[in-house]
Structure 1
Amino acid sequence: MLLLPLMGWIAGSAVYDHYNQLRESQLTERHSVMARLVSDAQVGGDGFTGQTRLQARVQWQDRQGVHVTVAPVGTWQRKGSTATVWLDTRGNVASAPVTWDRAATAGVCAGLATAAGVAALAGGAWKSVRVSLDRRRFAQWDREWELVEPRWTGRRGR
């Protein structure tokens, strides 16, 4: 019984650690800027993954000058509001780094899924052993009944 929580904990910790390392890596490769929306947020799609997200035309200024591009933004932001935009080392718009919440959620889900999977495998193995033992026991009972039944009923052979 201790195996289920242990396996869940190991898997969950591994996934959580992975996402934390990914977050640290992303934070070294990306930086955020505050940008002003020059258009309202609209639903946009990602042609590669099929994911839908909100995006808007944004503008920000840095040492290189004024930049205007389309970037992912928060829920239904309006023209004139500000949004945090993440940029990679070359200044291109990038996705926001993995959050602590996502790492924790992924770890918990992986732990629960692993525990459920181990429980299902253990339950299936137990059921398989029980069925095998029952078949063996029923076969033994059939053999014994063939020996005892003629004496009990008075019938001779079949």
Structure 2
Amino acid sequence: MRAVRGLWHWRHNPLCRATDLMEAWVALAALLLILLVAPVIGALAGSAAQEDLQRAVREQEESRRLVTATVVRKLERSALAADPETAVRDNRSRVQARWTAPDGTGRSGPVTARLRDPEPGDRFALWTDAQGRTAARPLDSATATTHAVLAGFGAALLTVCLVEGGRRLVVWRMVLRRYARWDQAWDRAGPDWGRTGTGS
């Protein structure tokens, strides 16, 4: 930003080097890319993610069914279960349950139920696929939209980082070239530059 402000300041200054102007123009181009291109890329990425995620929501809603399962018995927690302190606060339990698949066949198996202290005969909701196998809860539309917005912000932020990284790389190369020119100028001046014209 300092270089962009300096662009106006240096425009008629006789001490302005070509590299100073070039550095300011590079900064101005980077700023314009950040302000104009990054939001467009973010919007395009967000809308593409929204379209894909909403399609996934529709597919999951079509392929998954909410059925009512019945607890057969409570299953013991495995030895590899999570921390016992968090398990006390968790309102889910492993149970052996039975349910009816969407095609009418009976199914049973170990599942996780949102019951704190399940007893045989307790009923709970369970998501299954079309064949009656247990499945994760389908993604809802609001969560999909949130993910799409985050994807758009992420794409815009990545664009900003790439543009700023490119600007820094270009400026770094310009500074290296400037230092190389200074070294050449010092070499041409020679080792007695301080005594030139003194008659010694």
- Do both share a fold (TM > 0.5)? yes
Partner of 2:145: helix, strand, or coil?
helix
Alignment partners' CA distance in 2, 1:136 and 1:144: 12
Q: CA RMSD in A?
A: 3.4
Q: Which amino acid aligns with 1:23?
A: V
Amino acid at match of 1:100: S
Q: Does 1:108 align with 2:142?
A: no
- Flag the structure with larger Rg: 2
The aligned counterpart of 1:8 is 42
Amino acid aligned to 1:73: A
- 2:107 is equivalent to residue 73 of structure 1: no
1:30 aligned onto 2:69: no
SS in structure 2 at match of 1:90? coil
Of the structure 1 ranges 31-40 and 128-137, higher mean CA displacement relative to structure 2 is found in 31-40
Q: Which residue of 1 aligns with 2:52?
A: 18
Per residue, is there more helix in 1 or in 2? 2
- The range that moved more, 109-118 or 64-73, is 64-73
Output the amino acid matched with 2:38: L
Secondary structure at 1:4 match in 2:
helix
Partners of 2:162 and 2:145 lie apart in 1 by: 26
Percent identity (aligned) = 25
Structure (1 or 2) with the greater strand fraction = 1
Number of residue pairs matched by the alignment: 149
Within 1, Cα distance between the matches of 2:47 and 2:117?
Answer: 36
CA distance in 2, matches of 1:154, 1:95: 84
**Counterpart in the other structure of 2:23:** none
Is it true that 1:59 corresponds to 2:93 in the alignment? no
3-state SS, counterpart of residue 139 of structure 2: coil
In the TM superposition, residue 88 of structure 1 has moved relative to its aligned partner by 1.9
Q: Deviations over 1:81-107 (max 9, x none)?
A: 543212222222222212224313321
1:110, distance to aligned residue in structure 2 (A): 1.8
| In 2, Cα distance between equivalents of 1:43 and 1:105 | 34
SS at match of 1:71: strand
Instruction: Please give the secondary structure, in 2, of the residue aligned with 1:136.
Output: helix
Q: Structure 2 length as normaliser, TM-score?
A: 0.58
Deviations 1:27-71 (A, max 9, x none): 2122111223344587689xxxxxxx9643233458847543333
Q: Within 1, Cα distance between the matches of 2:40 and 2:75?
A: 45
Change (3 A) 1:31 1:18: same
Secondary structure (helix, strand or coil) at the match of 1:85 reads strand
Match of 1:49 in 2: none
Q: How many Å separate the matches in 2 of 1:77 and 1:85?
A: 17
Q: Is the contact made by 2:73 and 2:96 (CA closer than 8 Å) also made in structure 1?
A: yes
Extract unaligned runs of 5+ from structure 2: 1-34, 81-91
The one-letter code sitting in structure 1 at the alignment partner of 2:64 is R
**How far apart, in 2, do the equivalents of 1:155 and 1:61 lie?**
101
**Contact 2:57–2:138 (Cα < 8 Å) also in 1:** yes
Which residue matches 1:85?
126
